[in-house]
Amino acid sequence: WRFTLGLVGKPSAGKSTFFNAATEVREGASGAAREAPHPFTTIEPNLGRAFAPVPCPCATAGLRHSCAPAHGAVDVDGVHCRRLPIFIKDVAGLVPGAHAGRGRGNAFLNDLCDADVLVHVVDSSGRSDREGVDQSGGKDDEGHDDDGPVAVTGAEGDPAGDVQWVREEIHIWIFSNVRRKWRAVRKKPERLHDMFTGYHCVRATVDAA
């Protein structure tokens, strides 16, 4: 088992940029995710290793002064931490209707099944629509080239709206999978737990739901 963090979001939201930064690889290098200002730059998933700082157990055990690791130690805001390896998965952008086959559809969603947690990368500039297409045209109000943020008017360029519909797409995808097998689940309820292990969901979470 390896802890895997999956990156989700609409096309051109910055997922590959985040992936390259977190895994500390340069664009164009082996293992780097391709970055480009147009939708579906990523088709096949990118998988890389990163290091997450977590508080060192020595602090809670009262052994901080005797703990002197040669590697993997870092201080974060005065807290002694160890850098633990995690894996980050960058998948193709999600578009509205993916659960019904739009974009990469179920192929994209199935790429997320081995992720332990999903991180939604949002284009906070509001430049692009739900398909990841830049609607600002790279121009300001007077028609001049502009590198600054230019918000797209309406729901199409609404970052808060992006959070909502991406969440709904994932929920509908899972709900549809459960509904297709609901007859078998009714006959043998414990199968529901088995289904959700495919999403890396622990039994306690299923019971709570």
Residues 54 and 82: beta-carbon distance below 8 Å: yes
Write down how long the chain is.
209
In a domain, 27, yes or no: yes
- Please count the structural domains in the chain: 1
11's tokens: 């096309």
When mean pLDDT is compared over 40-54, 77-91, 142-156, the highest value belongs to: 77-91
Q: How many CA atoms lie within 13 A of 49 on its CB side?
A: 4
Q: Looking at this protein, which amino acid is placed at residue 38?
A: H
Q: Would the pTM of this model clear 0.75, i.e. be above it?
A: no
Domain that holds residue 173: 4-56+70-125+153-208
The H-or-E segment that residue 13 falls in is none
User: Which of the four pLDDT bands, split at 50, 70 and 90, describes residue 112?
Assistant: confident
- pLDDT at site 50: 93
Establish if 45 belongs to a structural domain: yes
Could you tell me if residue 145 is inside a domain? no
Q: What is the pLDDT of residues 121-174, one digit of tens each?
A: 998 888 888 777 777 765 544 444 555 444 444 446 788 989 999 999 888 888
Position 42 in a domain: yes
Nearest-angstrom CA–CA distance, 91 and 80? 33
Q: Is residue 133 assigned to a domain?
A: no
84 lies in a domain?
A: yes
61 within some domain: no
Answer whether residue 62 is part of any domain. Answer: no
Q: Read off the CATH number of the domain in which 109 is found.
A: 3.40.50
| 28-42, 50-64, 82-96, 97-111: range with lowest mean pLDDT | 28-42
